[in-house]
């Protein structure tokens, strides 16, 4: 009798629900292909060639023609064909498909490179002589460098410690050639006051400030001095790194990936940012603990570092006071630790001074850490010790880029529910809860009958550690970490007719794929 009653109830619900089906609403979204982060702002290169930035904009570093900061992404003016973007401390640079460099933001030391005396450049401008032939750009704190298609390197901006590599300590408002690097360079990286390059043979050269051993030459007192401070005005070889495939430079430390997939770091280590299990300054390269192979990419922040493993997992180490390691804690780590929720699917990573951002395989972006200027891009200024989705970038929790009524992440399901909800009902997407068997279709037998079968269930009989309001017998798969599939947006402790059974029935036949 109860089975017949439930069938009648479900059938009635389908009939009533059909009177007012929910219509999918398409969202305006973008898909990213690259992410970069500066001091307190972040930028994403979109697959369309446009650039969006968010966070601090006091110096015009978002490039939207204003100096108004934004907690959500805004369009950088005039860029529709970008192929690369690099956020510096308070300025940003990009490369177009035509090989032109574009820079915008703070110009105190000439970091825009166009020879202008304007203190703030709020829209992209071309550095002098770099209207074509640019392969990539890298931006630091007051200076930038460009790798040309010829293999040469040019730099501009702040030069008090020789970080432009031209043999002087004179600021340059337009690009100058780096001494000895007229060809043969494959990759460049720029840190706070230092710059580095990888040569075609895999050897590494660095130049600029060396007070913390960030040049990797085995000393903190040379190889020369700039007004009494350890530096190098021209590129010097980094011993102990051969076959380098990639390089990144941060506040006062630098890391490289070898051709074998191992990570080596050197320089300041006050917060464990070198990752060798100590807090000792390392003026020569050392292996990062546990990362002697399998590293696909690496990025540096002010006092922290992150890597992407070949399987797509993100790991970070160093300073964590603002949650920039992404593990949900605020304790520094001198060895790599896993970033919460990013055990796979990470395609690229970019670090700011105290925050981090990751590009996901699906084109979404997640950020974590300090957020006083909105640099996490989620519409708030609240910091987060775990990754949060950047608004209006495809793949975020609240986005529905194909307009089918299911959020992007809800369409990536696990055995017990959507990826984003960890097996619980996704409060942003009712289809996740109603699709109890995970086949991406709201069907009668497995979904509507499953909900109707629990009609009238109320609180009681919770197993230890799962105070969700429902007994184990009523949970589809028993206890799950963080909750269970019967959890609701605003749990009322009862599977009722209006909110639950009618809700499920109104989506009968909906295809969430």
Q: What is the DSSP letter of 117?
A: -
424 vs 297, which has greater pLDDT?
297
Task: Give the containing element (helix H, strand E) for 257.
Answer: strand 253-258
Q: What pLDDT does residue 6 have?
A: 38
pLDDT tens for 348-372 read: 999 999 999 999 988 889 999 999 9
- Say which residue the tokens 């820079």 belong to: 103
270-305: per-residue pLDDT in tens?
999 999 999 999 999 999 999 999 999 999 999 999
The helix or strand, by DSSP H or E, that contains position 406, with its residue range, turns out to be none
Spatial neighbors of 186 by CB under 8 A, at least 6 apart, are: 147, 151, 198, 199, 200
pLDDT, tens digit, 9 for 90 and up, residues 198-208? 999 999 999 99
Is it the case that residue 401 has pLDDT exceeding 90? no
Q: Is the pLDDT of residue 416 over 50?
A: no
Q: For 438-470, how does the pLDDT look when each residue is reduced to its tens digit (9 = 90+)?
A: 565 667 776 677 667 666 654 444 444 444 444
| Cβ contact 155:145 at 8 Å | yes
Phi, psi of 237 (to 5 degrees): -75, 140
Quote the pLDDT of residue 106: 98
Predicted pLDDT at 508: 67
Q: What confidence score (pLDDT) does residue 507 get?
A: 60
Work out the pLDDT band at 392, boundaries 50, 70, 90: confident
For the segment 67-111, what is each residue's pLDDT rounded down to a tens digit? 999 999 999 999 999 999 999 999 999 999 999 999 999 999 999
pLDDT at 137 over 70: yes
CA distance to 20, 160, 447, 450, 455, per residue, from 7 (Å): 21, 79, 12, 11, 12
Closest to 271 (Cα-Cα) out of 343, 352, 332: 332
Q: Which long-range contacts (CB under 8 A, 24 or more apart) does 416-421 make?
A: 416/476, 416/477, 416/480, 416/485, 417/485
What CA–CA distance (Å, rounded) separates 493 from 513?
A: 30
User: Across the chain, what does the average pLDDT equal?
Assistant: 82
Global pTM reads 0.74
In tens, the pLDDT along 146-155 reads 999 999 999 9
User: What is the DSSP track for 308-371?
Assistant: EETTS-EEEEE--TTSTT-SS----EEEEEEPTT-SS-EEEEEE-SSEEEEEETTS-EEEEE--
Please give the structure tokens belonging to residue 204.
Answer: 């590494």
Q: Judge residue 58's burial from the number of C-beta atoms within 10 Å of its C-beta, 0-12 exposed, 13-18 middle, 19 or more buried.
A: middle
From CA 493, how far away is CA 389, in angstroms rounded?
29
At 436, the pLDDT band (50, 70, 90 cuts) reads low
Q: How many CA atoms lie within 13 A of 163 on its CB side?
A: 32
């Amino acid at each position: 009798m109860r089975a017949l009653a439930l069938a009648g109830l479900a059938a009635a619900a389908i009939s009533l629900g059909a009177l007012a089906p929910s219509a999918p609403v398409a969202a305006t979204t973008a898909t990213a292909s690259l992410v970069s982060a500066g001091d307190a702002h972040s930028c994403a290169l979109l697959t369309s060639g446009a650039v969006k930035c968010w966070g601090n904009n006091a110096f015009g570093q978002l490039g939207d023609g204003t100096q108004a900061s934004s907690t959500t992404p805004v369009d950088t003016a005039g860029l529709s064909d970008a192929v690369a973007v690099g956020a510096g401390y308070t300025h940003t640079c990009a490369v177009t498909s035509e090989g032109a460099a574009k820079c915008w933001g703070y110009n105190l030391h000439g970091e825009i490179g166009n020879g202008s005396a304007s203190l703030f450049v709020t829209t992209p401008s071309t550095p002098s002589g770099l209207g074509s032939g640019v392969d990539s750009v890298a931006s630091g704190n007051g200076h930038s460098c460009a790798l040309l298609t010829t293999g040469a390197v040019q730099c501009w901006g702040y030069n008090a410690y020789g970080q432009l590599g031209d043999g002087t300590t004179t600021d340059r408002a337009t690009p100058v050639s780096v001494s000895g690097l007229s060809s043969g360079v494959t990759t460049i990286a720029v840190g706070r006051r230092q710059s580095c390059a990888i040569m075609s043979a895999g050897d590494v050269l660095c130049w600029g400030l060396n007070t913390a051993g960030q040049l990797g030459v085995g000393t903190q007192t040379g190889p020369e001095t700039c007004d009494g401070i350890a530096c190098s005005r021209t590129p010097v070889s980094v011993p102990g790194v051969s076959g380098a495939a990639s390089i990144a430079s941060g506040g006062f430390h630098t890391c490289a990936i070898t051709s074998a997939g191992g990570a080596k770091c050197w320089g300041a280590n006050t917060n464990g940012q070198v990752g060798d299990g100590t807090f000792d300054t390392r003026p020569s390269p050392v292996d990062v603990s546990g990362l002697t192979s399998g590293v696909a990419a690496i990025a540096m922040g002010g006092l922290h570092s992150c890597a992407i493993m070949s399987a797509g997992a993100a790991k970070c180490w160093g300073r964590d006071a603002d949650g920039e390691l992404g593990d949900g804690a605020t304790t520094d780590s001198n060895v790599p630790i896993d970033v919460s929720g990013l055990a796979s699917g990470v395609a690229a990573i970019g670090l700011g001074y105290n925050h981090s951002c990751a590009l996901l395989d699906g084109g979404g972006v997640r950020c974590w850490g300090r957020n006083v200027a909105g640099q996490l891009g989620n519409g708030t200024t609240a910091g987060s010790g775990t990754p949060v989705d950047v608004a209006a970038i495809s793949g975020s929790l609240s986005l529905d880029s194909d307009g089918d009524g299911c959020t992007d992440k809800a369409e990536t399901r696990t055995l017990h529910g959507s990826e984003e909800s960890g097996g619980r009902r996704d409060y942003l997407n009712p289809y996740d809860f109603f699709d109890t068997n995970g086949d991406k279709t709201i069907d009668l037998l497995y979904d509507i009958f499953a909900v109707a079968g629990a009609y009238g269930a109320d609180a009681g009989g919770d197993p230890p550690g799962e105070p969700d309001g429902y007994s184990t017998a009523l949970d589809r798969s028993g206890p799950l970490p963080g909750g269970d599939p019967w959890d609701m947006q605003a749990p009322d402790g009862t599977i009722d007719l209006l909110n639950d059974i009618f809700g499920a029935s109104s989506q009968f036949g909906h295809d969430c794929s």
